[in-house]
């Protein structure tokens, strides 16, 4: 069983990294794939290029084998539809159970994604509680609280999962940097060093 966590990662921060590791360990996943998206269908384009976001991601997980970068959405280009990503992973690994990991904010708009019903035929959903967000899953008919259910059914379950509550967002990090303030301790030092050296998010 593998986990996938898609995102703009603009930039990657501890809110992604620590919670991904929480999920990997809670569900004993063999790995978590971090999938940087090219062009998100439901929000503004990322502020930095795919190459810049990918380079920061590589720095962040360089010494963590449980977190693996999967570049298929960047290579595919265009709008990043999760259903296409899942179909392409299933084509390579038909017997692998996939857990799609989302923050509670992202789950709130899941019904507006492209082909949500087909996504649930391909994967389970793991919903991480984000600070300040109510649990959006409780009325859902597919909900389970038993992690063992994820092994006994191939797809289609929704599992809310408590993770370390880190009130960190990429938006806040970009804002601090554009104001000339430091976002240190919200993201790995090595990532911040790279951002600073390349002046990635500084106002011109």
Q: Using CB under 6 A, list all residues that contact ligand ATP.
A: 5, 7-10, 15-16, 19, 102-103, 105-106, 128, 130, 166, 168-171
For ligand ATP, the closer of residues 94 and 132 by Cβ is 132
Q: Are 36 and 8 in contact (CB under 8 A)?
A: yes
In angstroms, give the least distance from the CB of 116 to ligand ATP: 15
Using CB atoms within 10 Å of the CB of residue 115, give its burial: 0 to 12 exposed, 13 to 18 middle, 19+ buried: middle
Whose Cβ is closer to ligand ATP: residue 100's or residue 122's?
100
Compute the least distance from the CB of residue 94 to ligand ATP, in Å: 25
SS3 60: helix
Task: Using the minimum distance from each CB to ligand ATP, give the nearer residue, 49 or 91.
Answer: 49
Quote the distance between the C-alpha of residue 17 and its chain's center. Answer: 9
Q: How remote is the C-alpha of 51 from its chain's centroid?
A: 17
In the complex, the smallest distance separating the C-beta of residue 152 from ligand ATP, rounded to whole angstroms, is 25
What are the two backbone dihedrals, phi and then psi, of residue 81, each rounded to the nearest 5 degrees? -95, 125
Q: In the complex, which residue's CB is closest to ligand ATP?
A: 103
CA distances from 190 to 8, 51, 63, 145 (A): 19, 17, 12, 37
The least CB distance from residue 61 to ligand ATP, in Å, is: 14
Nearer residue to ligand ATP within complex by CB, 125 or 152: 125
Minimal distance, residue 95 CB to ligand ATP, in Å? 26
Q: Looking at beta carbons only, is 74 or 95 nearer to ligand ATP?
A: 74
Q: Rounded CA gap, 6 and 113, in Å?
A: 13
């Amino acid at each position: 069983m593998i986990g996938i966590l898609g995102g703009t990662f603009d930039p990657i921060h501890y809110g992604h990294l620590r919670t991904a590791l929480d999920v990997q360990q809670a569900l004993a996943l063999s790995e978590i794939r971090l999938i940087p998206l090219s062009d998100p269908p439901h929000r503004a384009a990322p502020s930095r290029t795919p190459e810049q976001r990918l380079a920061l991601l590589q720095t962040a997980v360089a010494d963590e084998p449980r977190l693996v970068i999967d570049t298929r959405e960047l290579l595919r280009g265009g709008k990043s539809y999760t259903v296409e990503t899942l179909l392409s992973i299933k084509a390579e690994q038909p017997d692998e159970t996939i857990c799609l990991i989302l923050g509670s904010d992202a789950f709130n708009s899941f019904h507006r994604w492209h082909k949500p019903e087909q996504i649930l035929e391909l994967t389970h959903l793991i919903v991480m509680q984000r600070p300040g967000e109510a649990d959006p899953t409780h009325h859902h008919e597919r909900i389970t609280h038993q992690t063992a259910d994820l092994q006994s059914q191939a797809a289609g379950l929704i599992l809310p999962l408590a993770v370390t509550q880190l009130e960190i967002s990429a938006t806040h990090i970009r804002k601090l940097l554009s104001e000339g303030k430091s976002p240190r301790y919200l993201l790995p030092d090595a990532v911040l060093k790279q951002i600073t050296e390349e002046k990635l998010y500084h106002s011109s």
